[in-house]
Amino acid sequence: MSEKGELDVTGAKQNTGMWLVKVPKYLSQQWDKALGRGEVGKLRIAKNQGRTEVSFTLNEDLANINDIRGKATSISAPRDHPFLLQNVGGQTLTVFTESSGESQTDEKADSSANEKLSLEGIVVQRAECRPAANESYMKLKRLQIEESSKPVSLTMQLDKAVTTNYKPVANHHYNIVYDKKKKEEGKRARAEKQQVLDMLFSAFEKHQYYNIKDLVDITKQPVIYLKEILREIGIYNFKGPHKSTWELKPEYRHYQNEDKSD
């Protein structure tokens, strides 16, 4: 059993040889239909004139094919699948598995502490599982082509009116809020720059720090226009106790009292 941050290399120590096999997509989908740990088929390995021949036969119970909507069809999946054996090609390929621990004594413990990463073995043989080119395979390919050409959404005629509690509205709430906000922004006409500066200096004589919302309420100016002026005379605090607030640059500061932390 491996601890957190460690790797179980039992498979490598036992020199376990693994096969890396590529299978058709439909075959893996048929395997998913198997119940529990049921049998999905039989693997046959034989010698023919000194050559190794491998084939897989799909279980007859898993041969029924469904369409893209999950309905059963009259077409069966090919059952016979000969293997095309390939060399590893000088590569070092390994197989890993990751699983969770069977028990956890502390409910608050880090979940990663119970994860187990194991090296199952080294790939010694590569292969490709191919369907036999028979009538079943041709029918399956024809079905796949027909299914791929069907639209995902279909138009249906309703026999009766839809009776739900949903009613059409002239305008949604979020649209109303957005329009109201845009209308308020439009009412804020730009004042002369000097007039805005006078209002800002007057405000900063009372307090040292302001957020942008308060300054918009004081000056009644558009946010973008107000920020352009503030960048000329002010400093924006990105951190510290007065984060996200504006204050005057040192050369413009002039307060009525000594309490600048107000």
Cβ-count burial 134-143 (b if 16+ within 10 Å, e if not): eebbebbeeb
- 84 and 13 within one domain: yes
Q: Is 89 exposed, middle or buried (0-12, 13-18, 19+ CB in 10 A)?
A: exposed
Residues 131 and 39 in one domain: yes
Assess if residue 18 is contained within a domain. yes
Is residue 71 domain-resident? Answer: yes
Do 121 and 56 lie in one domain? The reply is yes
Residue numbers of the domain that contains 245: 188-252
Q: Are residues 32 and 119 in the same domain?
A: yes
> Same structural domain for residues 17 and 82?
yes
Give how many domains the chain has, as a whole number. Answer: 2
16 and 132 co-located in one domain: yes
Q: Count other C-beta atoms under 10 Å from residue 164's C-beta.
A: 6
Predicted confidence (pLDDT) per residue in 173-210, tens digit: 877 887 777 676 656 678 889 999 999 999 999 999 99
Whether 6 and 114 have beta carbons less than 8 Å apart is answered as no
The neighbouring-strand residues paired with 80 are 57
Q: Which residue has the higher pLDDT, 246 or 39?
A: 246
CATH number for the domain that contains residue 226: 1.10.10.10
Residues 221/222/225/231 CA torsion (nearest 10 deg): 80
In a domain, 146, yes or no: no
| pLDDT band, very low/low/confident/very high, at 25 (cuts 50, 70, 90) | confident
- Are 124 and 216 found together in one domain? no
> For residue 237, what are the contacts with CB-CB under 8 A and spacing of at least 6?
209, 243, 244, 245, 246, 247
Please determine, for residue 148, whether its predicted confidence score (pLDDT) is greater than 60. yes
Position 134 scores a pLDDT of 78
Q: What is the pLDDT of residue 230?
A: 94
Query: Which residues lie closer than 8 Å to 203 by C-beta, 6 or more apart?
Result: 210, 215, 218
- pLDDT band (50, 70, 90) for residue 257: very low
129 lies in some domain: yes
pLDDT beyond 70 at 256: no
44 and 119 within one domain: yes
pLDDT value at 261 more than 50: no
Confirm whether 168 is domain-assigned.
Answer: no
Together in a domain, 47 and 121: yes
Residues 120 and 235 in one domain: no
Does any domain span residue 30?
yes
Q: Is residue 55 located within the same domain as residue 131?
A: yes
Asked if residue 79 is part of any domain, the answer here is yes
Distance, in Å, from the CA atom of 189 to the CA atom of 201, rounded to the nearest integer, reads: 20
Residue 42 is assigned to a structural domain of this protein: yes
DSSP one-letter string for 239-253: SSTTTTEEEE-GGG-
Chain segment 121-140, per-residue pLDDT in tens: 888 888 998 888 778 788 88
The predicted pLDDT at position 255 comes to 56
Q: Residue type for 112, please?
A: S
pTM of the model: 0.43
